[in-house]
């Protein structure tokens, strides 16, 4: 009888442990620190016909604390769109979304005393602290984005054809757009301005649904050929729609 009771207790403890393990990812969400801010990325391009500018606001949501399943220190969610500049009629420069989540820290972190790869001594506020500090920068002057913190930039030789995508060297826009064209400034601001639904944004005006449908067709065609298809090693194959538009707004 005692053996049976002991077995029941062991089974009960095992069941409790299993339930606790199963529920831990949900409980751990309440142990995380959550931070939200809006940041505006603005590009200024100098051309022979004058200055051309473009700006986009992205919402960044950060959850700091051990992440369920992955064990990572922080997770991010973005909502918004890439920044677009019409450099010349029908010729567009896109500053992609990749890296948006820590771009402000990269650009401003050293001056603000935030620890990270942008700070050679890696001293100062650590990630959990400076994440809380980012929203407090709202209303402060724009910061310049240095070379090491710049977003990836692309253009399309034919804006209706995703296969014509081309990477742009931010230090040599003239090589892509012609003489007299250069990137004059890239700035970031933490702002209280709202994030416009990307479905109605600038990217959607330049790259409509038909563009992404065509891109999807290229992707599916490459999948049918297998993973060794040249598409997957091409620039287009390494990009995704989330480089241009992301989130459910």
The C-alpha atoms of residue 226 and residue 241 are separated, in whole angstroms, by 21
Domain membership of residue 205 (yes or no) is yes
Nearest residue to 79 via CA among 199, 192, 187: 199
Q: Are 236 and 218 in contact (CB under 8 A)?
A: yes
Q: What total of structural domains would you count in the chain?
A: 1
Query: Is 134 inside any structural domain?
Result: yes
At which residue do the structure tokens 């990812």 appear?
25
Task: Say whether pLDDT at 142 is over 60.
Answer: yes
Would 45 be classed as within a structural domain? Answer: yes
- Per-residue confidence (pLDDT) for residue 73, from 0 to 100: 79
135-159 burial, b at 16+ Cβ within 10 Å, e below that, comes to: bebeeeebbebeeebbbbbbbbeee
Residue 3 lies in a domain: no
Least confident segment among 20-34, 167-181, 226-240: 20-34
- Whether 27 and 171 have beta carbons less than 8 Å apart is answered as no
Is 14 inside a domain boundary?
A: no
In a domain, 161, yes or no: yes
| In a domain? residue 118 | yes
Q: What is the mean pLDDT of the chain?
A: 87
**Residue 15 within a domain:** no
| Residue 185 lies in domain | 27-246
pLDDT, residue 124, reads 75
User: 147, 148, 145, 168: which is closest to 157 by C-alpha?
Assistant: 168
Q: Is it the case that residue 155 has pLDDT exceeding 50?
A: yes
């Amino acid at each position: 009888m005692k053996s049976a009771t002991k077995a029941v207790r062991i089974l009960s403890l095992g069941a409790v442990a299993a339930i606790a393990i199963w529920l831990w990812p949900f409980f751990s969400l309440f142990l995380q620190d959550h931070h939200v801010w809006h940041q505006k990325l603005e590009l200024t391009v100098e051309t022979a016909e004058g200055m051309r500018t473009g700006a986009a606001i992205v919402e960044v949501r950060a959850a700091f604390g051990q992440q369920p399943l992955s064990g990572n220190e922080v997770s991010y969610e973005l909502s918004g769109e890439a920044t677009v500049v019409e450099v010349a009629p029908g010729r567009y420069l896109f500053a992609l979304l990749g890296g948006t989540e820590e771009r402000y820290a990269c650009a401003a972190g050293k001056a603000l005393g935030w620890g990270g790869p942008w700070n050679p001594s890696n001293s100062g506020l650590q990630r959990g602290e400076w994440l809380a500090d980012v929203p407090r920068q709202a209303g402060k002057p724009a910061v310049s984005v240095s070379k090491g913190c710049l977003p990836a930039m692309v253009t399309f030789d034919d804006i209706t054809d995703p296969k014509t995508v081309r990477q742009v060297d931010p230090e040599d826009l003239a090589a892509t757009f012609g003489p007299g064209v250069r990137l004059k400034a890239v700035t970031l601001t933490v702002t209280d301005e709202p994030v416009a639904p990307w479905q109605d944004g600038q990217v959607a005006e330049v790259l409509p649904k038909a563009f992404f449908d065509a891109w999807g067709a290229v992707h599916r065609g490459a999948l049918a050929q297998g993973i060794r298809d040249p598409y997957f090693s091409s620039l287009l194959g390494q990009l995704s729609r989330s480089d241009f538009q992301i989130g459910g707004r």
